[in-house]
Amino acid sequence: MGTVIVGSLFILYGLFTLYARLTGHVSWLKKLPAMRERFGKKWGNVIHVLAYTFVPLWTGAFFLFEYFVNHIDIV
């Protein structure tokens, strides 16, 4: 059951960062300015989207898939 909770939290966090980005609430994304400063605007955005949106969404989907389809409790 822990796998479902952790997977759901990953998905919620990924959806939160996606929502903040799409609605223009970039002030909610605390690490984005530092990434833009270090890597430039374009690559800072790319790295931030990958690390804080796509990876949590993928990881959450993987955890839920493993639990519901393969019946494996990872956590």
CA distance 3 to 26: 30
What is the value of pTM for the model shown? 0.87
Rounded CA separation 16/39 (Å): 23
Provide the CA 21 distance to its chain's centre, in angstroms.
12
Residue 75 pLDDT: 74
For every one of its 75 residues, what pLDDT tens digit does the chain have, with 9 covering 90 and above? 889 999 999 999 999 999 999 999 989 999 999 999 999 999 999 999 999 999 999 999 999 999 999 888 877
Domain map (residue ranges) of the chain: 2-68
The DSSP code for 74 is: -
Token couple for 37: 């400063």
